[in-house]
A = this chain, B = another copy of it.
């Protein structure tokens, strides 16, 4: 076969031949290793450019080098919540010439564990795990092999874990306090997926705010949701059907708040005149809803950015395991809350 090699067929051997050195010298140049004479380095670099060499990712990874791939484990990539986090992740990766291997688990624990194991075998240089469901199943293994990972929106199994989270407890506390200060005393709460620490912390913040204001917690006012719109819709229906319905509702995320809004509209309830509503996250639709949603802003882009930077730093310097970070939430006042109807 005498045809000229195409761009995608150029290997390290071709570059070595072109530059008149061994392929291990080319490897040292490609990977910015020392022990290469400046003139040799220059000659190899030019040969690489001339031939348009691109390292074969799988070979590099198999041989023990860096793949420059980050594994990203998510439940689902089609939500605005995830879109915002990914925006932050993408920003950082792009400026560091890293790519993403994306795994969507659709919340299945077994998938989560299997993916982590697969990615930790060398294909990825590190892992970003968003809202992990079962970290205990694989964290020890990742630690035993000193494999870099950062958990996002979940604290992991103990204080040695590396994570980026937000002040969910405080956010839940602030949302509830806001409603209390408006005069609401019966405040409904639609939780998130209770497997997740973020959902539990938001509920704890809600309870703490009530207690701190001398308002007893009424279990009837707490309905379990799953962060999906329909559970917000159904949760709102359950709350409105109570003998003593709430005058305000705090949903554990904006998507469920959106569902609640739809239910209120169907029941001809005006928000905020008839019933106040607070969400959580401040995903882009929060500001678009009618009325624009008052919500707790979780700095998702910043979480993605920070987690990714921490992970890349850890990969770059394996001795420097990063410290976990908790970012502040912030109450965003819009138009979905007001004094209770007298």
Contacts and interface: CB of A to CB of B under 8 A. Distances in A.
**Oligomeric state, in copies:** 2
Contacts of A86: 77-78
Contact of A84 (B78, B103, B141): B78
A289 interface: yes
A87 interface: yes
B6 A121 contact: no
Most buried by B among A62, A114, A290: A62
State which size class the interface on A falls in.
Answer: 35 or more
A244 interface: no
Interface in A261-296: 284-285, 288-290
Given A54-B117, A288-B289, A80 B80 contact: yes
Interface in A145-193: 145
A123 interface: yes
Most buried by B among A58, A69, A86, A99: A58
Contact of A58 (B62, B106, B145): B62
Contacts of A144: 6
A77 B72 CA distance: 13
Nearest to A122: B58
Contact of A101 (B79, B83, B101): B101
Contact of A8 (B62, B90, B99, B120): B120
Interface in A62-120: 62, 67, 69, 72, 76-80, 83-84, 86-87, 90, 94, 99-104, 106, 114, 117-118, 120
A59 interface: yes
B141 A54 contact: no
B101 A102 contact: yes
Interface in A4-22: 6-8
B118 A57 contact: yes
A61 B122 CA distance: 13
A127 B91 CA distance: 23
A272 to B, nearest CB: 15
17 contacts: A8-B118, A8-B120, A8-B141, A8-B145, A58-B58, A58-B62, A72-B102, A76-B90, A77-B90, A78-B86, A79-B83, A80-B83, A99-B101, A99-B102, A100-B103, A285-B285, A288-B290
